[in-house]
Amino acid sequence: MRRFTTIFSILFVLACVCFSFFSCAEQEKTVQKKVVQIGEEEIQECSEAVYKTREFRGRERTFLTTDFSNVAKPSSLDVFTAYFHNPPVRQYWTGTCWCFATTSLMESELKRLGRGEIKLSEMFTVYWEYVEKARYFIQNKGDMHFGQGSEHNAAIARMKKYGAVPAEFYTGLLPGETEHNHGEMFQEIRNYLDFCKENEYWDEEKAVCYVKQILNKYMGKPPDTIEINGQSMTPKEFMEEVLQLPLDDYVTFMSLKSLPFYTQGEYKVPDNWWHSDVYYNVPLDVFYKLIADAFEKGYTVALGGDVSEPGTSGEEDCAIIPSFDIPFALIDQDSREYRFDNRTSTDDHAIHAVGYTQLNGRDWFLIKDSGSSSQRGEFKGYTFFRDDYVKLKMLTFMVHKDAASEVLAEFETSE
């Protein structure tokens, strides 16, 4: 009996040791992660590059992305400190993100300034942007980039000149239409302007008049007057007397080494077709801090930059920089500049950042997005941008000047 007890005790101890070993091994296996290291320093967890496929316009498309399963991202819209904004609306088959983002910013500003909750017409501004592009084309004898895209401050310029209207007064859609599609319209305008250039036809008044006829055919004629509270007024009167938006108070920033910091200059991208040189150029750490601090001060921000990256996913509702692109700790002014110079960071989309939160020590921004990719995930019309994505891939932003008063004062000093 004693011998049996002794043998049993030995076996029991061995079993415990074995269980403990395999349990610890399994535990170690589950928590072990690949990390990017430089010397003895751990930088960040590795991201895996993967290929996926999806259907796009009736054809299957293969694209490079990353495994998002280990990304700790916000769980819902509710975790963000968000400011008033109208629900997302889609730009559909148009290159008008610049206007949707800026119009959304202006709507948020109307609420912040105590003007109420008003939905403005994006397409009213788009219509007049095409008119001004055509005018510039004729004035400069075709020496310009003519496309569907533009910049935030173009929307401001059109509002200053032509005013604005509530969305119900001008949709930019013909009777029976529900989705914007500017493909044919743009091509017809493009063909006409090419004809003018080839034949050296530079009659500005007649050319602009013809472009308006094309716009009217596809978008409908914008109203000359609207009725607000029983009073007839022009769109410009509506802007100046009802909205009273301080349009001169919105400033744009960039962060590029091609221009001295703390000076103003041109943002040299094709969609800045009129060569606007009012951009305030600041170092990257200042650029990012201005964006993050704006939310603490009660402002929202319109962003512009690159969204064609492996770390962006509409299905996952988020945008990050995978480690196989560049580890977060190595994102700096030069890595950003390198990507802009070699055109892997391009000016291809404009969006409106409407909220902010922190998760596991990382900043996350709530992005209101008019693009089609934002419709693929759970939160239709929204995307969550992590801090690394904003630092590396967002190239410009617009905000009310009071959100950047201290930095703007440094420009005044340097002058």
Q: Output the CA angle 308-310-312, nearest 5 degrees.
A: 65
CATH number at residue 310: 3.90.70.10
Angle between the N-to-C axes of helices 204-219 and 122-139, in degrees from 0 to 180, rounded to the nearest 10: 150
Are the C-beta atoms of residues 398 and 302 closer than 8 Å to each other? Answer: yes
Residue 75 and residue 181: Cα distance in Å, rounded? 33
pLDDT for the residue 412 = 72
Residue 7 banded pLDDT, cuts 50, 70, 90:
very low
Q: Is residue 332 part of a domain?
A: yes
Range from 35-44, 153-162, 186-195, 293-302 carrying the lowest mean pLDDT: 35-44
Residue 290 and residue 190: Cα distance in Å, rounded? 39
Residue 249 and residue 128: Cα distance in Å, rounded? 21
Range from 35-49, 83-97, 180-194, 373-387 carrying the lowest mean pLDDT: 35-49
Angle between the N-to-C axes of helices 122-139 and 183-198, in degrees from 0 to 180, rounded to the nearest 10: 10
Q: List the domain range (segments joined by +) for residue 89.
A: 53-414
* 56: pLDDT strictly greater than 80: no
* 393: pLDDT strictly greater than 90: yes
Q: Which SS3 state, helix, strand or coil, does residue 12 take?
A: helix
Stretch 346-375: mean pLDDT, rounded? 97
Residue 70 banded pLDDT, cuts 50, 70, 90:
confident
Of 294, 303, 307, which is closest to residue 102 (Cα–Cα)? 303
Number of domains in the chain: 1
Q: Is residue 32 part of a domain?
A: no
15 phi, psi to nearest 5 deg: -60, -40
Strand 312-313 to 318-319 pairing:
antiparallel
Of 171, 302, 299, 164, which is closest to residue 244 (Cα–Cα)? 164
49: CB partners within 8 A, 6+ apart: 64, 65, 66, 310, 322, 324
CA 10 to chain centre: 67
Q: Is residue 22 part of a domain?
A: no
Bridge partner residues of 250 (DSSP): 400
Pick the residue with more confidence: 24 or 295?
A: 295
Q: Is residue 146 part of a domain?
A: yes
Stretch 30-57: mean pLDDT, rounded? 74
pLDDT for the residue 76 = 97
As a whole number of Å, the end-to-end CA separation of the chain is 98
Taking only the tens place, the pLDDT of each residue in 318-357 is 999 999 999 999 999 999 999 999 999 999 999 999 999 9
Residue 146 and residue 274: Cα distance in Å, rounded? 10
* Long-range contacts formed by 204-212: CB under 8 A, 24+ apart: 204/135, 204/138, 204/139, 207/134, 207/138, 208/131, 208/134, 208/135, 208/138, 211/130, 211/131, 211/134, 212/131
Q: Is residue 24 part of a domain?
A: no
Q: Which SS3 state, helix, strand or coil, does residue 173 take?
A: coil
Residue 141 banded pLDDT, cuts 50, 70, 90:
very high
Q: Is residue 29 part of a domain?
A: no
**What's this model's pTM, rounded to 2 decimal places?**
0.89
Strand 279-281 to 250-254 pairing:
parallel
Residue 54 banded pLDDT, cuts 50, 70, 90:
confident
* 30: pLDDT strictly greater than 50: no
* 35: pLDDT strictly greater than 90: no
Taking only the tens place, the pLDDT of each residue in 216-226 is 999 999 999 99
pLDDT for the residue 23 = 44
Angle between the N-to-C axes of helices 122-139 and 152-162, in degrees from 0 to 180, rounded to the nearest 10: 90
Of 397, 49, 133, which is closest to residue 251 (Cα–Cα)? 397
Q: Is residue 248 part of a domain?
A: yes
* 12: pLDDT strictly greater than 50: no
Tokens standing for residue 218: 């596809």
What average pLDDT does the chain have? 91
Stretch 371-392: mean pLDDT, rounded? 97
Taking only the tens place, the pLDDT of each residue in 264-320 is 999 999 999 999 999 999 999 999 999 999 999 999 999 999 999 999 999 999 999
pLDDT for the residue 333 = 98
CA 5 to chain centre: 73
Residue 263 and residue 254: Cα distance in Å, rounded? 11
